[in-house]
Structure 1
Amino acid sequence: MKYHDSVAQAEQKMHVAIKQLQLWHIPATPINYAVSYNYLSKNSPALNTAIEKQLATRKKLDNFFLEEVYRQYILGQSAFRGELIDDLDEVLFDLQTNSEQSSVCTNRMVNQLDNNISSLKSTDKREVINAIKQIRQTTQHFKLEQEKLAKKLRLSQQSTDALRGELDDVKKEIYLDPLTGLYNRKAMSKHLDMWLSDDPTKQIAAIVVSIDHFSGLNERFGPVISDVLLTKIANKVSSYVGESGLPVRSAGDEFLILLPNIERDVAGEIAEKIRQSVEKLRFVSSKSGARLPPVTLSMGVSDYNVSTSANNIISQTRELLSNISNTLTNHVNIAQAQTT
């Protein structure tokens, strides 16, 4: 067995894992159960650390967080698949071999030409004819070798195209949230590193987007309707982000938008447009035809240097909402002072 537990041990852990989920107030879905079982088995120190860190900050564990933990620490999607690396190695080896063969073939032809050029200047007719014959044979052989290499290169190109498609799929698994299609925190950290290496002085505006009373909507209408709402709102949020911006799903009912080289006030205007746009959305149940209550957003806006960590950007921008979220919803709060 994967965990080397006896049947009795596995059964005991199963009951404890269910109780652990009850303590976390999380439904016993297969993914949540797998995380709870791993947590109790202590097979992955990184998984336990991530959960304990979340609990230490008094943040509620939810399905979204456990799904992220499941993908990262149980499925191991933070690393490329071994067979993909093997395929890449094979393609690179083939390209190197083909390149070496082409070089050898070219050098052989050049040497043959060098050896016969002097014979072309000879006054001996037989020597000239023989030199021409050698050159013709060399060029024909070179042509055949190049045709073989071209065929091999076409095969390598086909393998490369297939690998490129597979790499795109892997990138989606690693860097995209499967429900909304927005980037995840891993992608956010990667982009911050890229921006930092490109320009350490680069400033980014951050907009945190929180869906008002989403937990109540989830309890009232169920996870299926909630997922539809999340997807629709995520699409609306991303529609206001340019090519240089980065829309991120940072929590179960929360998004974050990073806008490089955008002033805080301009980011505030973008946030207000998003807020108004979502406020105008109307949702109707496809099954019952009942109209769902309007959905509103509360948003915080600030700016940072790209050297700021992803966690700090999320937590500090989130603080703009935490102090007033209990009394004020459907609003945009723009930081008045530079956040450090």
Structure 2
Amino acid sequence: MIVIMMFHDSMANAQEKMTQVCHLLELHALPPTPLNYHVLYQHVSEGESALSEALQAAVTEGRTIDSVLMEELYIQHLTPDHQKQTAMVERISELIGNLERNSKSNQKHIDHYHLEIDRCARALDEHDVDKSRHQLRKLAEHTLVLKGQMQKFKQLLEQIKQQYLSTKSQLKRLKDKHQLDPLTGLYHRHYLDKKFQYWAKKQHQISLIRIDVENYHQFCHDYGDSIGNLMLEKVATKIDKYVKESGFCGRTQNEQFTIMMADVEAQTVDLIAEKVQAGISKLRFVSSRSGKQLPGVAFQCQTIHRQQEPNFSALVSSTH
């Protein structure tokens, strides 16, 4: 109802849109959560064109339309926090711009001051005391100007320091919320996509390790969503443990994880994949109620090396 009120829809219009939303939920087998309703209602209302374009791009790329994607779209396009983060970054960028301009200005004053010292030294005349005094007074005036500029520069640095300290923790929280999956703590898919574009532009060799959990939905059905989510958390922790500084780990679909690495030899990628497989295979789950041991994680693990794939979606969905 809150979403409907945002668009001031009549009940008839809202009913028509809700029918479209329900169709999309059913089409993509999405759970009818408030977040999914919100994103899809926004989409069918065309109230956020960037959101609709992003959703259409995901469909075109053949990406699975799941709750992970819905959450990414919500964070990127519908959360005020994302706008706050952008505003903070812009403020800091403005301060850094001021710092850069002041640095250049100070350098010019220093260069000019050096020229004045040279000119004054050449103009000093031991036989003409008045002329020498005049030159020294001019040098003193330039010294005061330079001191004033340096004082302003110092004040600007202090201003930037205070701004940085006041926004550092908040910026980190917003950055984490924008980049990290809240359930697993791994990167969102859009972050890996940005890294892919950067590495591809720099002509790095890109490799992936894709892990598809196959019995997540069965876990949720048999033991409840909390146990299913716990399984994903444990798998994510195990994957992240073996990657460390080698690359970036992301939750790229609801039950899919991807490790992306740059300029890592194929043998090393295979070795990391083997360790990840061994680690996940050792995971054990026990029912807190009955003490009964639950099934292990059923999964597939595949290494992929980029050839000509133009984007992350094409690479992660490839089978070579």
State the TM-score bracket (shorter-chain normalisation).
0.7 to 0.9
Sort the Cα spacing of 1:18 and 1:101 in 2 relative to 1 into closer, same or farther, 3 A: same
Sort the Cα spacing of 1:312 and 1:122 in 2 relative to 1 into closer, same or farther, 3 A: same
The residue that corresponds to 2:106 in the other structure is 102
- Matched residue type, 2:70: L
How far apart in 2 are the matches of 1:137 and 1:24? 75
- Write the mapping of 1:321-332 to structure 2, written as runs, cut at 5 A: none
Sort the Cα spacing of 1:142 and 1:266 in 2 relative to 1 into closer, same or farther, 3 A: closer
The residue that corresponds to 2:251 in the other structure is 249
Matched, 1:10 2:14: yes
Asked if 1 retains the 8 angstrom alpha-carbon contact of 2:209 and 2:258, the reply is: yes
- Matched residue type, 1:304: R
SS of match in other structure, 1:210 = strand
Asked if 2 retains the 8 angstrom alpha-carbon contact of 1:120 and 1:128, the reply is: yes
The residue that corresponds to 1:69 in the other structure is 73
How far apart in 2 are the matches of 1:3 and 1:238? 42
- Matched residue type, 1:217: F
How far apart in 2 are the matches of 1:53 and 1:32? 20
C-alpha offsets along residues 99-143 of structure 1, whole Å, 9 cap, x if unaligned? Answer: 365356446645654564355323244554554455445435533
1:279 to partner: Cα distance? 1.9
CA RMSD, Structure 1 to Structure 2 (Å): 3.7
Q: Which runs of 5+ in 1 are unaligned?
A: 318-338
Q: Which runs of 5+ in 2 are unaligned?
A: none
The residue that corresponds to 2:234 in the other structure is 232
Choose from 21, 26, 47 the match for 2:30. 26
The residue that corresponds to 1:300 in the other structure is 302
SS of match in other structure, 1:206 = strand
How far apart in 2 are the matches of 1:231 and 1:24? 24
Percent of counterpart pairs with the same letter?
A: 27
How far apart in 1 are the matches of 2:104 and 2:312? 45
C-alpha offsets along residues 284-328 of structure 1, whole Å, 9 cap, x if unaligned? Answer: 4567766443224321223223755312222123xxxxxxxxxxx
1:277 to partner: Cα distance? 1.4
The residue that corresponds to 2:192 in the other structure is 188
Matched, 1:159 2:160: no
Asked if 2 retains the 8 angstrom alpha-carbon contact of 1:196 and 1:307, the reply is: no
How far apart in 1 are the matches of 2:81 and 2:191? 13
How far apart in 2 are the matches of 1:167 and 1:97? 25
Asked if 1 retains the 8 angstrom alpha-carbon contact of 2:125 and 2:131, the reply is: no
The residue that corresponds to 1:146 in the other structure is 150
Q: Which has the higher helix share?
A: 2
SS of match in other structure, 1:281 = coil
TM-score, normalization by structure 2:
0.77
How far apart in 2 are the matches of 1:256 and 1:61? 17
